[in-house]
Amino acid sequence: MLSLCCVLALLVLSCPEICGTNAGVKVKLTQKGLEYGRQIGVTTLLDQFKTIKVPDFSGSEEVSPIGKVSYSLTGIKVINVGLPQSEVALVPGTGVSLTISNAYINLHGDWRVKYLGIISDSGCFDLVVSELSISTTVTIQSDDTGHPVVSSANCAASAGQASVTFHGGASWLYNLFSSYIDDALRSVLQRKICPLISDAIHNLNPYLKALNVLAKVNQYAEIEYSMVESPVISTSSIDLSLKGEFYNIGEHKEPLFAPTPFSLPPDESNMLYMGISAFTANSAGFVYNNAGALSLRITDDMIPSSSPFRLNTKTFGTFIPQIAKQYPDLMMELLVKAATAPTVTFTPNNLTLQANATITAYAIQPNTTLTTLFNLNVS
């Protein structure tokens, strides 16, 4: 459960109007993916339950025939916790529900009594609380800055049975404490569990608030993957709409195009689905073109040795005889450079890439200098 919340830790961006609210990238987490998160989350909860602090108890009881007996229970610690059965489900429009059943908690502590004003006795005890059931809902919202906020709602916990075993002391004292400890500690645990879960979930928020949603790709670009709207939660999936836009490093210049609506397929047989729009691809082209990074030098060693086509003036002389005559037996180099940012278009079962480029051909002289042979404008 807790790790699932972390998946939702994405910030909402306030961007210029041209950005709109459409997503560049969409992610769908299905019930299968939620089940994977449950396995990790339950492990985390086990660790949290072991931190439960049970307060010391003290008081007095009238015990016939000896009269008033003062008692204290101290040093109560959680020894072991078991969460054998758990289920997660999506709560449409709200978040994720978690239900735990047949759980148990083992505790250990010390007991001490004093009676007749002068006689004292002491020992230790073990307590097993079983048939423990817990249910809660993790709500997912956004704060006024667009950060995700998670919280626990509708939490309920109940302990079915408690069984105490005393060690040390007089056997007649056991009957005095058995029923009291059963009821008192069971009641305390029931009151402690929901606040513990609430605190564990609430403690995620500082981490969510500090998450960086801007990732460096390389020396030219970084990508922002913040949410453009709150998660859409249905009965079968959590759908995230992410900005998915590339920027030049340190320069967030918006392109002249904006994302258009798109949706993921309804299939939910896998744990996770991701869809990337043409906007994301085109924002990458826009950024790399601005950085002058869309260029490539092609040399002969980049061509497979089995190819009959070699990058030299002899081969190109077949098409342009003047090259072979003026620059005989020289190797060549091609510089391919984008003239404008390439554009990608998605249609069903097809991806179309449109690019305008210039190709400059060079002859490599014996002294390694380059001589321009020709230029081509390619579309």
Cis peptide bond N-terminal to 65, omega within 30: yes
By three-state DSSP, how is residue 73 classified? strand
Same domain, 45 and 194: yes
Question: Does a structural domain hold residue 185?
Answer: yes
Question: Does a structural domain hold residue 330?
Answer: yes
Same domain, 60 and 203: yes
Question: Does a structural domain hold residue 23?
Answer: no
pLDDT tens for each residue of 98-124: 898 999 989 899 988 887 777 888 888
Same domain, 191 and 298: no
Which of residues 190, 207, 224 is at a domain's end? 207
Question: Does a structural domain hold residue 313?
Answer: yes
Instruction: Assign residue 43 the CATH number of its domain.
Output: 3.15.10.10
Give the Cβ contact number of residue 4 at 10 Å.
24
Same domain, 310 and 186: no
Report the mean per-residue pLDDT for the chain.
84
What tokens were used for 200? 């564990």
Domain that holds residue 143: 28-207
Residue whose entry in the numeric block shows the structure tokens 């919340």? 5
Same domain, 167 and 46: yes
Residue whose entry in the numeric block shows the structure tokens 């967030």? 252
| Cα 259 to the center of its chain, rounded Å | 24
Query: Residue 185: its pLDDT value, please?
Result: 75
Give the predicted TM-score (pTM) of the model: 0.69
Query: Residue 66: its pLDDT value, please?
Result: 73
Same domain, 50 and 182: yes
Which of residues 153, 173, 207 is at a domain's end? 207
Structural domain count of the chain? 2
**Of 181, 69, 190, whose CA–CA distance to 125 is shortest?**
181
pLDDT tens for each residue of 234-292: 888 888 888 899 999 988 888 889 999 998 888 888 999 999 999 999 999 999 999 99
Q: What is the DSSP letter of 230?
A: P
Which of residues 180, 207, 234 is at a domain's end? 207
Question: Does a structural domain hold residue 358?
Answer: yes
pLDDT band per the 50, 70, 90 thresholds, residue 176? low
Residue 291 pairs with which residues in a beta bridge? none
Q: How far apart are CA 23 and CA 242, in angstroms?
A: 5
Question: Does a structural domain hold residue 315?
Answer: yes
Same domain, 46 and 178: yes
Q: Would you say 160 and 130 are in contact if contact means Cβ atoms under 8 Å apart?
A: yes
Q: How far apart are CA 135 and CA 154, in angstroms?
A: 8
Same domain, 59 and 197: yes
